[in-house]
Amino acid sequence: MNSAAEARFRIQAVTSYRRAVRVIALDMPGEDVVRRLAKGGWEHTSFLSARQEMLHDLAGQPRNLIDEVDTADLVVMIAAPGGLAYTASMIGEACSARRVMTTGLIVGGISAPEGDVSKTLMQLRPWSLMVVIADADDYIDHMLAALRG
C-alpha cells in the first residue's frame, strides 16, 4: 500500500468470528518464528512443526496431519528463504482435499538473496492460496490477530 487511495481498500476491521488456525513451521527458521508466536496466548491457534517429514507439536509429540487439517479453518505455513519447505506439498494436499484455506509466509525474505526466495516460493506457491513475503515477524502477529486466531 503506497497511498491513501490504496489504503481505503485495506480491511480495517477483524473478521467477525474466531477461526481455528494451525500455524506450521516448515523449516528451522520457521520453527523459531512459530515458537515465538506460540508464546502469544492465541486462543484458537495451534502451533506445529513439519520438519523432518513428520508433523509434531512444539514439545516434539507426533500429531496426525489429517486430524489437524480436519479441525482447522486456516493453515498457515511458515518457512525461510532457501528451499527447505519440502513438507508444504504434504500439508497442501491434505488442505486441498478438505477445502481448508492455506497461507504461506516466507520470513526474512526481503533481505534474502532472490534465488533463495524463489526456491521457497516454488515449494509454497502451488499449495498456498496466498503467499506473503514478510520481513518483520510482527507482520505475522498482526495477520493472526486480524484473522482472529
Predicted confidence (pLDDT) per residue in 19-30, tens digit: 799 999 999 999
pLDDT at 11: 56
Query: Which amino acid is it at 48?
Result: L
Predicted confidence (pLDDT) per residue in 30-89, tens digit: 999 999 999 988 888 999 999 777 899 999 999 999 999 999 999 999 999 998 999 999
Angle between helices 114-124 and 88-98 (to 10 degrees): 40
What number is the average pLDDT over the span 103-130?
92
Distance CA 74, CA 81 (A): 22
What number is the average pLDDT over the span 130-140?
81
- 9 or 19, which is more confident? 19
Could you tell me the residue ranges of all domains in the chain? 17-146
Closest to 76 measured CA to CA, from 52, 110, 42? 42
Protein fold of 17-146? Rossmann fold (3.40.50)
